[in-house]
Structure 1
Amino acid sequence: MQQTTPQAITLTNSALIKYTMFSLVFAAITLFTIILPAEYDIDPTGIGHELGLTVFHHGKDETAAQLSTQETSEKSKDATETIEVIVPAGRGVEYKFVMAQYQKLEYEWITDGPALYFDLHGEPEGDTTGYFESYAIATLDEMKGSFTAPFSGSHGWYWKNTSDSPVTVQLIVKGEYAKHGLK
């Protein structure tokens, strides 16, 4: 029986140099069109802005600042808190409050621009099925009300901005909750 050996692929020095140069050019294009705009808000070509990548850098800084100052904060039910949430152009964000069953939250929110689609809803603590219960769904530029959490979990808003520029939501809350932040 004759043994066959796999045929070795032989690359010449010129082929290795060609593939290395191709890889370097591809890496440079990726760096300038995707990575720098998304991670550092540096957009020398303008493509990152056109693709909507520069919004990630802004959202990351704001998210980190909001989460570091607000997520672990304990609040009493008599304290009123004003929170600013920026909804990037063409995107949606969720802002949630962790609440125990039957805790109450009074709220008022208003945008600095056009109306936003929103879904005020809650997700049960520990649920892994993806279940959520909506309390209100509409497209408005302001809303005022209150709700009592029907179950322990995270409760809050999903806002969707269909406009071409970011919209700031000023959210004023008073109630019982353990922590809050962007989700």
Structure 2
Amino acid sequence: MYNTDIPTRAELPTSAQLLRSTAIAFVAAAGILVTIVLPSEYAIDPTGVGRMLKLTEMGEIKTQLAEEAERDRQKNSTGSVEQSVRPVPDQRSSLFGSTLADLFVSPAQASGRVVLAQAAGRKDETIITLKPGEGVEYKLTMKAGAKVSFLWAADGGVVNYDMHGTPTGGGKEKSYKQGRGVVSDEGVLTAEGEGGHGWFWRNRGSKDVTIRLKTDGAYAEIKRMT
């Protein structure tokens, strides 16, 4: 059997070459940290590159939503949790008419759009009105791995939101999706653990915004947390 020849001392990298490679790797890592990681995660952009790449805006959304959700959860920690599922009003805005109408088309007409699950479970339609500057959190009580199809749309303006889950008994919260200045969203929420999973919305506009949330799937109840 042929064994590879052991390299000679002259073929091995020198201490200077190793130090130079280490320095280059350190500089590259620092550059990535300053230009990509800090802007996209913490909205810290000392070089201005993050804003050019639109990463700083992403970081601003994350930090703003995290701060808002934390403030509202702290404010709600001494209050009671109440359920607020309101009846559907007869009048619908043009936005709801166009958005929600697509929800109930047949699978053949859906053409790839998310349609509420037909499996046995629970269905709710929740109406939420947010005054300027007001935030609210709704959560579904779900088992690990449970799935819920959802559709929500804002009438009268846009909202910031954070779709997340909180394990039963506390623990690290999981953020599934975030957005700023959004008018609607739809999809399937899959619980990564047993607990409360849902949305926090904030109205940053100057007028009242009404959110219509439709949920269908494997959950025990829907609660207003804030």
TM interval, shorter chain, is 0.5 to 0.7
- The residue type equivalent to 1:83 in the other structure is T
Match of 1:169 in 2: 211
Q: Per-residue deviation at 1:78?
A: 4.4
Distance 1:122 1:67 in 2: 20
Deviation by residue 1:33-77 (Cα, 9 ceiling, x = unmatched): xxxxxxxxxxxxxxxxxxxxxxxxxxxxxx9672699xxxxxx84
Identity of aligned residues (%): 29
When you count strand as a share of all residues, which structure comes out higher? Answer: 1
Check the 8 A contact 2:143/2:194 in 1, yes or no: yes
Q: Can you give the 5+ residue segments of structure 2 that lack an aligned partner in the other structure?
A: 1-80, 88-118
Look up the SS of the partner of 2:199 in the other structure: strand
2:182 is aligned with 1:138: no
Match of 1:110 in 2: 153
Distance 1:161 1:175 in 2: 27
- The residue type equivalent to 1:102 in the other structure is G
Q: Can you give the 5+ residue segments of structure 1 that lack an aligned partner in the other structure?
A: 1-62, 70-75
Q: What is the TM-score with the length of structure 2 in the denominator? A: 0.46
Check the 8 A contact 2:150/2:214 in 1, yes or no: yes
Check the 8 A contact 1:94/1:157 in 2, yes or no: yes
Match of 2:224 in 1: 182
Alignment of 1:1-183 (within 5 A): 66=84, 77-127=120-170, 129=171, 131-139=172-180, 140-183=182-225
Q: What is the TM-score with the length of structure 1 in the denominator? A: 0.56
Q: Per-residue deviation at 1:80?
A: 3.1
Distance 1:176 1:169 in 2: 22
Look up the SS of the partner of 1:82 in the other structure: strand
Q: How many residues align?
A: 113
Change in Cα spacing, 1:121 to 1:113, as seen in structure 2 (3 Å) is same
Change in Cα spacing, 1:79 to 1:67, as seen in structure 2 (3 Å) is closer
Ranked by relative contact order (alpha carbons within 8 Å, sequence separation 6 or more), the top structure is: 1
